[in-house]
A and B are shown apart, each in its own frame.
Chain A
Amino acid sequence: MLNLDPEEVAGLPRYPVGRRCPYEIPEIYTRLRAEEPVSKVVMSDGQPVWFLSRYEDVRAVLSDPRFSADRLADGFPNLALGQREGLSKQPKFMISMDGAEHSAARRRVISDFSVRRVAELTPMVQKLVDDCIDRILDLPQPVDLVAELALPVPTLLLAELVGADHADHAYFIDLVHRMLWRKTSGEERVQISIGLRKYFDDLIAEKEANPGDDIISRQIAFQREENGEVDREGLNSLAQLLLIAGYESSASMIALGVHTFLTRPEWLETIRKDPAKTPVAVEELLRFYSILDVAAGRVALADVEIGGVTIRTGDGVLASVFAANRDPAAFPDPDRLNLERGARHHVAFGYGPHQCLGQNLSRLELQIVFDTLFERIPTLRPAVDEADLPFKYDALAFGLYELPVVW
């Protein structure tokens, strides 16, 4: 832990820093990057940590094995009160593993997320998106696209991936929806979390008896071959991780992307005329919004010099992918949204061995949603002014709570 006297801690900037505008990076990020790119900030639990705001430094830390991703290690920046207690009660998620343990765990799942495998999922994702749009077209207007498209698409996709396509499918979808609904109480959240764990336990047992064409069944077969037995707890963690990592973030990017196109008709025209430009636009949306800025915490396992500053063993570090993605040293005119920028070196999915496992699936999902939605509902337009839209300024992942549209 970064040891400072209480007076110095009291004077430090607080983290997380909330956004006040959907498009602008908080002023303090830009100032720190220019004046003190390796600086100290204080977390909401009072812990001082290092804050990195340069592209080069963020990449350096996230790819350096001397920084640990172990969320239970002393000094690791805690984003939410109770985070450590919650995590200590369950088997380790892959995102908390380091080195050889992480490589082995990730090795077992990467074939399910390879570029080729993801491309094979195109017809399934397309059908899922089409089904959602069919339902939308039957609804009275205005329709909230967060509730009817941005949230259902990743949920249905996850259900397909883990093979939750049996009788309890509707129950599962309902649990997931309530988990992230902002009006769900803390008490209810605990119940939902217990419900999900139980759901995945039952699903794993079912897949052991009747394997299907899904990640869980493939992991079961793999584990039986490797160890002769099934690690049910580990599989449950994997299923939960896929849910946590793939759900809210995808929903946020769908909603922000749709809003961006609807309020910028020139860009909408560009991808309508030439769908080959959609993937390029998706990369820029990912860079520009950098919705998961808070995901990349680390703790130093050794004394390491970053950007001329020595970070000591046990110090917590926050590598800001938002600040990195708006660094003028890496992206010319970084604060301008340019959907034809064509820069793929952003770190919106993180960097290093932990870079998002589902990134290619996420790209596919976004491309299909944008292309299909605007093709099938060409007169789609916002139902409210941007000033009245509920952006998720208070959440750890930026996004939209609602996006009412008409056509």
Chain B
Amino acid sequence: MRISSDQDVCTGAGQCVLTEPGVFAQDARGVVELRTDRAEGELMPKVRQAVFICPSGALSVEED
């Protein structure tokens, strides 16, 4: 799957980082930063959960 993030929409709740720190991080401003824009295998359900619980709607995925 392909992951996208919108830094202008992010409100820095950090829910994605708590869900999957291997994929999501926060930059110095506290705004979402992707460590990778692709996820495979067991990471995929984690990424889907991060997208679902993100309060600001800053994250999205496109399934391959």
Q: Are B49 and A345 in contact (CB under 8 A)?
A: yes
Residue numbers in A under 8 Å from B21 (CB-CB): 115
Contact B56 A116 (CB under 8 A): no
**Chain B 1-45, CB within 8 Å of chain A: the 1/0 string?**
000000000011111011101000010111100000000000000
The minimal Cβ–Cβ distance linking B50 to chain A, given in whole angstroms, is 10
A189 is an interface residue with CB less than 8 A from chain B: no
Q: Which residue of B has the minimal Cβ distance to A279?
A: B18
Q: Are B55 and A114 touching (Cβ within 8 A)?
A: no
Nearest CB in chain A: distance from B29 CB, A: 5
Residues of the B chain whose Cβ atoms lie less than 8 Å from the Cβ of A360: 14, 18
A103 on the B face (CB < 8 A)? yes
Chain B residue at minimal CB-CB distance from A283: B18
A221–B8 alpha-carbon span in the complex (Å): 23
Q: Please give the distance in Å from A122's CB to the nearest CB on chain B.
A: 15
| Docked complex Cα distance between A359 and B54 (Å) | 13
What are the residues of chain A within 8 A of B57 when measuring CB–CB?
Answer: 63
Is the pair A113, B30 in contact by a Cβ cutoff of 8 Å?
yes
When distances are taken between beta carbons in the complex, the residues of chain B under 8 Å from A399 are none
Determine if A344 and B30 form an interchain contact, defined as CB atoms under 8 angstroms apart: no
Provide the residues of chain A in CB contact with B13, threshold 8 Å.
349, 355-357, 359
Task: List, in ascending order, chain A residues with CB within 8 A of B53's CB.
Answer: 344-345
B18:A110 contact, CB within 8 angstroms: no
Are the C-beta atoms of B11 and A114 separated by less than 8 Å?
no
Residues of B within 8 A of A199 (CB): none
Please report the C-alpha to C-alpha distance between residue A352 and residue B58 in the assembled complex, in whole angstroms: 10
Q: How far is the CA of A403 from the CA of B26 in the complex (A)?
A: 38
B26 and A115: CB pair below 8 A?
yes
- Taken together as a complex, chains A and B put the C-alpha atoms of A114 and B18 apart, in Å, by 10
Known: A111-B30, A359-B13. A344 touches B55 (CB 8 A): no
Measured CA separation A187–B15 after assembly (Å):
41
Whether A114 lies near B56 (C-beta < 8 A) is no
Distance between Cα atoms of A114 and B12 in the complex (Å): 7
Residues of chain B lying within 8 A (CB to CB) of residue A356 = 13
Closest chain B CB from A360 CB (angstroms): 5
User: Quick one: which of A204-244 are within 8 Å of B by CB?
Assistant: none
Check A353–B11 contact: CB distance below 8 A.
yes
Known: A344-B18, A351-B55, A353-B56. A114 touches B49 (CB 8 A): no
A154 at the interface (CB under 8 A from B): no
- Residues on B with C-beta less than 8 A from A107 are 12, 29, 31
State whether A106 and B11 are in contact (beta carbons under 8 Å apart), knowing that A111-B30, A115-B26 are contacts in the complex: yes
CB distance from A180 to the nearest CB of B (A): 26
**Contact A115–B52 (Cβ < 8 Å):** no
Q: Is B14 within 8 A of A111, CB to CB?
A: no
Asked if A77 is an interface residue, CB under 8 A from chain B, the answer is: no
Report chain A residues within 8 Å CB of B28.
111
Q: Within 8 Å CB of B18, what residues of A?
A: 115, 344, 360
Give chain B residues whose Cβ lies under 8 Å from the Cβ of A112.
30
**Chain B proximity of A121: nearest CB distance (Å):** 13
Q: In angstroms, how far is the closest chain B Cβ from the Cβ of A97?
A: 12
Specify which chain A residues have a CB less than 8 angstroms from the CB of B31 in the assembled complex. Answer: 107, 110
Q: Using CB atoms and an 8 Å cutoff, list the residues of chain A in contact with chain B.
A: 63, 103, 106-107, 110-118, 344-345, 349-353, 355-357, 359-360
11 pairs of residues in contact across A and B, judged by CB atoms under 8 Å: A110-B29, A111-B12, A111-B30, A113-B12, A115-B18, A115-B26, A344-B15, A350-B55, A355-B11, A356-B13, A360-B18
